[in-house]
Amino acid sequence: MLSKKIVDRINLQINREMYSANLYMAMSAKLNDDGYKGISTWMMTQYHEEMFHAMKLYGYLQSQGASPAIEKIDAPAIKAKSVKEIFSATLEHEKFVTASIRELLELAISEKDYATENLVRWYVDEQVEEEQNVVDILQTIEVIGDGKQGLFMLNIELGKRKPSIPLDFTSIG
Ligand code: OFO
């Protein structure tokens, strides 16, 4: 059985993952408006990844007899204008999520909640991968420059991204 502290902290993480999903959906919309359909697809795929992160925690709470608490999600604030700025903002956001996951892991360890610890370690690995993906894209932008020709190629490349997670959440948990 999960402690109230753990349930509350997992619910906070669900909210943060759903905020991440909204943030990337909003970025996807902006990129689509700006004519970058491929990069917009990459961001929408990221939206699905984030929803999966939220739903995996949701399913875990239910599997432990606890209730997910769905709260208000803040509207995403996007100040970034260029593609490079958007990916820099993405990296900053992922670093925030990584810190949030570490906090949850530290709580699980301090409570000797080994089941939650095991679950959260999956997110630790996931964050390493997510940060690396964005670092790679930023490095590519450094190499090709953020002129129109380079971004045209990047747009084609990132448009090939497919979700690595199931999009049907009904079986999670
Ligand atoms: Fe982007 O990894 Fe979840 O939030």
Cα–Cα nearest to 62, from 2, 104, 16: 2
Residue 146's pLDDT is 81
**pLDDT-derived band of residue 119, with 50, 70 and 90 as boundaries?**
very high
**Contact of 74 with 107, CB cutoff 8 Å:** no
161 pLDDT exceeds 80? yes
**pLDDT-derived band of residue 170, with 50, 70 and 90 as boundaries?**
confident
169 pLDDT exceeds 90? no
Contact 20 CB / ligand 1 (< 6 Å) = yes
Q: Give residue-wise pLDDT tens across range 30-63.
A: 999 999 999 999 999 999 999 999 999 999 999 9
Cα–Cα nearest to 61, from 7, 13, 103: 7
Residue 160's pLDDT is 97
Please, what CATH class does the domain formed by 4-161 belong to? mainly alpha
Contact 100 CB / ligand 1 (< 6 Å) = no
Q: Please report, to the nearest 10 degrees, the dihedral formed by the alpha carbons of residues 65, 98, 128, 25 taken in order.
A: 80
Contact 21 CB / ligand 1 (< 6 Å) = no
Cα–Cα nearest to 159, from 49, 40, 46, 48: 40
173 pLDDT exceeds 70? no
Q: Which of 12, 15, 48, 50 is the best mutation target for the ligand 1 pocket, counting ligand atoms within 8 Å of the beta carbon and taking the most?
A: 50
Contact 56 CB / ligand 1 (< 6 Å) = no
Q: Give residue-wise pLDDT tens across range 71-117.
A: 999 999 899 999 999 999 999 999 999 999 999 999 999 999 999 99
Handedness of CA 123, 125, 131, 133 (dihedral sign): negative
**Contact of 134 with 94, CB cutoff 8 Å:** yes
Residue 168's pLDDT is 86
Give the C-alpha separation, 155 to 160, whole Å.
Answer: 9
Domain ranges in the chain are 4-161
| Mean pLDDT of all residues in 17-34 | 98
- The atom of ligand 1 lying closest to the CA of 127 is 2
